[in-house]
Structure 1
Amino acid sequence: MTEHDVETGRRWDGGLLDLDAYLARIGHTGDLSPTAETLRALHRAHVLAVPFENLEIVLGRPVPLDLPALQDKLVRRARGGYCFEHARIFAAALERLGFGVTGLSSRVGMGSDRLRPATHAVLRVETAETPDTGRVWICDVGFGSSPLEPIEFADGAGTTDGGRSFRLERRTVRLGTTLAAEEWTLRERRAPVDGDLRGGDGDGWLDLHTFTPNPQYAVDWVVGNHHVSTHPRSPFVRRPVVQRTGPGVHQALYGATWVTTVLADGSRRVRELEPHEGPKVLEDVFGIVLDADDAAAFAAALERLPRAPEAKD
């Protein structure tokens, strides 16, 4: 990293990170050398420890992306965040440890053919082995149902954990007679449920999000963050979304609907919460502890939501 990089905002403020506090937050006590093995361990630890959540928006507060604010929220107060927050602090940690980090922006599709704005943040990461092996990695710690480990940045590369499989696919999109764009799509295939494959095609593979290799900087993510935290059509403005992946299980809260998914077989348990139950579920299931005022505001936000039809297990 050069002084010019720091002054022009092309880096991730790794020097400002309280590294010991961050590592304690995610529970990583292993090696810190910038190797692929360390990257896998850090990625897994972060995804398992730090939940996905949009509660600041629900509580009527802005979502700052500066490192001091992120350290206060995600580390000191043991809260979670959504993709921009996760990727921003993970980038700072990796940069501090000597990894090569480049931000990327992705378009969340979830199987839709409609072109959506680039409002998801992922990282392209080089390790100490990259000059010799050429291997580069995609880290996606803030998707909510993120892969537990990084995926090699190569066509057809993937990872499997529990009943979930992920892979990257590359394609070339023609934009004119002389211009083409390289696009990469992260796809997921989960375990079948009752004999049916859930996904976007006959094999159960679902397109999660699509990105290009064009570098993105912290200032670019500020723009995307503003859109998803304020635009009236943003799903994060309309209802709470909280997710956490644990060993063998994925927990999610969509509004007042609590969904528990067993990763090995894809089976799900769905329950509609009463508003007053919300803060307790946040604490017991997602590890998010709100103070009394925020807990009351969160319960009130659930009360204002349209009631979902009664769900069956």
Structure 2
Amino acid sequence: MSDFLDRYLARLGLAERPRVDLAGLDALLWAQRLAIPYDALDARLRRGVSIDPDAIADKLLSGTRGGYCFELNPLFARALEALGFVVEPLLARVWFRQQPDDPVPPRTHIVLAVRLGGERWLADAGFGGGHVPAMRLAEGAEAAGNDGSVHRLRRDDAFGWMLERHFEGQVRPQYSFTDELAQPADIAMSNHWTATSPESRFIRNVLVSQVTRTGLKSITNDQFSVQDGAETRRTVIEDGVAMRALLQREFGIVLSDDEVQALGLF
């Protein structure tokens, strides 16, 4: 375990182990979000996504790839537990793209509840949007995002906890989850559907993102976006050569020419 933790902290650029308290939790969460990109490319490449702990570590700690929620949050949980934190995985329904008449979304996201001093804190290192610090699991709890947004938790009669994003006068639900502990079989089932179903947005789209100190940079298909606070700049990725160079320059993701071609955009 110490070898894993040493590799993990080196990947994040941390010279010392964080303390087992709220400040340490937030420091580790912020460091991982800055260091390891959100990378759903293996789903798009029809490879499936292994959630074996060692496979996740080998991929995400190599320095040439990131992962998506079922890799990023289990990696984060493993590091937290190695440090002495108590962690509970929870499955979530993602709402932020839902329209009013859409059916209830499946549980395609995993988040963590971390126990500290008799309280539980929501910690999510695996959502593809901007950074949100750890949030106390309580009605009305709020946390300021790195992009100027405010995230708020509220109780929902049907779906348990609902995380909302408040930004520039708009309120958008992000995801919901209950307090039910996610069992390994449930996590495996959710990951399998999310990474392989033709209905999954990760199969249908090329999705990569990276938290920055003031926002987010991201790729959605052939669009590269840089969000800096309230300002967003967008450019079109012209071809596979540009895509491969952009992935390596902006996200540290290394793909071969054949892999970029297999993304099916150009």
TM-score of the superposition, structure 2-length normalised?
0.92
**Cα offset for 1:125?**
0.2
Gaps of 5+ in 1: 1-14, 174-181, 193-202, 305-313
State the SS of the aligned residue for 2:47.
coil
2:162–2:174 CA contact under 8 A, matched in 1? yes
2:221–2:265 CA contact under 8 A, matched in 1? no
Match of 2:123 among 130, 133, 139: 139
Of 213-222 and 225-234, the range deviating more from structure 2 = 213-222
Q: Look up the equivalent residue of 2:263 and give its one-letter code.
A: A
Superposition map of 1:15-34 within 5 A: 15=1, 18-34=4-20
Once the two structures are superposed, residues 283-306 of structure 1 have per-residue CA deviations (whole angstroms, 9 ceiling, x without a partner) of: 11112122xxx33321452435xx
Match of 1:267 among 231, 236, 239: 231
Structure 2 residue 108 is matched with structure 1 residue 119: yes
**Equivalent-residue separation in structure 2 for 1:270 and 1:303 (angstroms):** 17
> What corresponds to 1:287 in structure 2?
252
Q: Percent identity?
A: 32
Once the two structures are superposed, residues 68-111 of structure 1 have per-residue CA deviations (whole angstroms, 9 ceiling, x without a partner) of: 10111000244111111011111111111111110000000106
Structure 2 residue 207 is matched with structure 1 residue 221: no
1:140–1:146 CA contact under 8 A, matched in 2? no
Match of 2:133 among 149, 152, 172: 149
Match of 1:243 among 209, 215, 218: 209
**Equivalent-residue separation in structure 2 for 1:103 and 1:87 (angstroms):** 9
**Cα offset for 1:221?**
1.2
Q: Look up the equivalent residue of 2:190 and give its one-letter code.
A: G
**Cα offset for 1:31?**
4.3
Moved over 6 A (4+): none
> What corresponds to 1:98 in structure 2?
84
TM-score of the superposition, structure 1-length normalised?
0.79
**Cα offset for 1:189?**
1.9
**Equivalent-residue separation in structure 2 for 1:22 and 1:42 (angstroms):** 10
Of 295-304 and 136-145, the range deviating more from structure 2 = 295-304
> What corresponds to 2:154 in structure 1?
169
Q: Look up the equivalent residue of 2:258 and give its one-letter code.
A: A
State the SS of the aligned residue for 2:265.
helix
**Equivalent-residue separation in structure 1 for 2:232 and 2:149 (angstroms):** 14
> What corresponds to 1:176 in structure 2?
none
> What corresponds to 1:86 in structure 2?
72
**Cα offset for 1:38?**
0.5
> What corresponds to 2:263 in structure 1?
301
For the aligned residue pairs, the C-alpha RMSD in angstroms reads 1.8
1:17–1:92 CA contact under 8 A, matched in 2? no
**Cα offset for 1:217?**
2.8
Structure 2 residue 166 is matched with structure 1 residue 189: yes
The count of residues paired between Structure 1 and Structure 2 equals 261
Match of 1:64 among 50, 54, 73: 50
Once the two structures are superposed, residues 258-280 of structure 1 have per-residue CA deviations (whole angstroms, 9 ceiling, x without a partner) of: 111112xx211111111221011
**Cα offset for 1:44?**
0.5
1:102–1:123 CA contact under 8 A, matched in 2? yes
Gaps of 5+ in 2: none
